[in-house]
Structure 1
Amino acid sequence: MKRYLLSILFMLMSVSSMSWGADEKVLEDYAYYGFEPEIVTNYISNRKKLGFVRISVELMVKDPNDLVAIEHHDPLLRSAIVEILGNQPEEKIKSLTGREEIRRECYDTVNRLIEQETGRALVVNLLFTRYLYD
């Protein structure tokens, strides 16, 4: 009985180890570019006082060598993000769904601009690592 259980256990271990090797994925060598200093700008407010938003933005790229091109075009990309934020209504700035829509719009715009400049869409993802508003 022990021998039977041991042989079943051994077969299960060998089958599971074979599937582990098949499921292994090649890890990508992602890199991140953070805009410094943080982006601070005004937005369209419903109140009498001016609203502002302060965000930290990180661009995720697949190849660390692409960071040179991203850094070179930093002013263009920063300007586009500031313009997008400045044209948002208060309700969109302050809602979670609005925040995601803004992030997506920034991502699409940044990728479009960087593709116009370099010939390739370099940005894999755009992350808001800090998002404060008033």
Structure 2
Amino acid sequence: MNKLFLLLLLMCSSLTVKASDYVYYGFQPDIITNYVAVKKKMGYVRLTVELMIEGGNNLEVVEHHSPLLRDAIINIIGQQPEEKIKSINGRHEIQRECQERIQELLKQETGETLVKKLMFTQWLDN
């Protein structure tokens, strides 16, 4: 019984160490941008974006490139149709597209992707 407990404790401690290898960066202020809406001609989206960054020492690098990353997110959202903006599946696709673009840009700028995950933690649209 003690060996099993020690094994579980060892496994949990290795997971904790791995989790501490990530830091989070949130864009401030929230991102607010327009999209083309069919009925209203223009709509807007306000979203909170968090980046999961590999390695705490990469936080400053991501902060340095945040204007470029913010611009990429705004451009992607601004090109989306209303039906995609308003659907949950569409939002997931947009999130995935933004994540891939952020990773591409960071790879071009730094040689590494640095961002493990991009998350929309708040999404308000009209």
Correspondence for 2:8 among 8, 20, 23: 20
Residue of structure 1 in register with 2:114 after alignment: 122
Q: What amino acid sits opposite 2:57 in the alignment? A: N
Partner deviation per Cα, 1:17-73 (whole Å, 9 max, x = no partner):
244145333423211111111100001201134110000101111211111111111
**TM-score, length-scaled by structure 1:** 0.85
1:52-111 per-position Cα deviation (integer Å, ceiling 9, x unaligned) = 000010111121111111111111100000000000000000100000000000000001
Give the total of aligned pairs.
Answer: 122
Of the three residues 66, 71, 83, the one matched with 2:63 is 71
Q: Which runs of 5+ in 1 are unaligned?
A: 1-12
Structure having the higher Rg: 1
What percentage of residue pairs aligned between the two structures are identical?
48
Deviations 1:105-131 (A, max 9, x none): 000000100110000010011111110
Equivalent residue runs for 1:77-88 within 5 Å: 77-88=69-80
Q: What RMSD in Å do the two structures reach over aligned CA positions?
A: 1.4
Give the structure 2 partner of residue 9 of structure 1.
none
Identify the structure with the greater strand proportion.
2
